[in-house]
Structure 1
């Protein structure tokens, strides 16, 4: 009787060990997938007031590993070809919004990308920026803020194919 109990314990131990190993493999696979989800690509932005599509922004990675994003297409009824950033106060003043870099200096962190800036061409203001991907890399949550991240606003952009 004692011998059968020992076999059952050994069998239960092997089953538990297999389950732990399978869990570790699955966890490693999910972590690897999360690390490959990147903001690099084309994203559809939204208008804060209407919630309608506003522009397409292409995010690229530079040779130094930082990310930047530029407007590659205007969308919606308010977009006019040749529209310029009249509210900008830096070197982008009166420059065409189409082709303009509005995100720069984003660096990889443990939970996303941070340390960069984002320009709102509507008001010409530049904000600190952080972002992270969600939904298997199909959504990009972009937060512009002044000072601390709590004082700002977020938008969720959709990846375009």
Structure 2
């Protein structure tokens, strides 16, 4: 069997909006469960503190993103800028907020279980303004199905831009 290199033009990369974040499904690492995403986070937007069984890897491509975690029961904030890398192990509470005034972009490496979550909650059209109660309910129900649990109050910080 002959292997070939596959080129996917930018225009053909599958794109969804997960609440207010734009998620581009950039590709898979062949033979592994590894999925590569590009995530654009509007200014002021982000995800609440949450945990899930799969690890994640983040590289900030542009902007400034404040990542939040818990250490010894206390919230810790890590400010990440372009070029910075964060590794989030399995089941470690984490969340992020774009604290800048322009969109921030991340390269994110996840596994197929998290891809399934993003594809379930994602939509083809971007939303605007704060998320609606209906959107929050849909995301909360999908989180429960995918083993994602919030740490604290999810609706207080879920993509607030």
The structure, 1 or 2, with the larger RCO (C-alpha pairs under 8 Å, 6+ apart) is: 2
Q: Could you tell me the TM-score, scaled by structure 1's length?
A: 0.31
Larger-Rg structure:
1
TM-score (ref. length: structure 2): 0.31
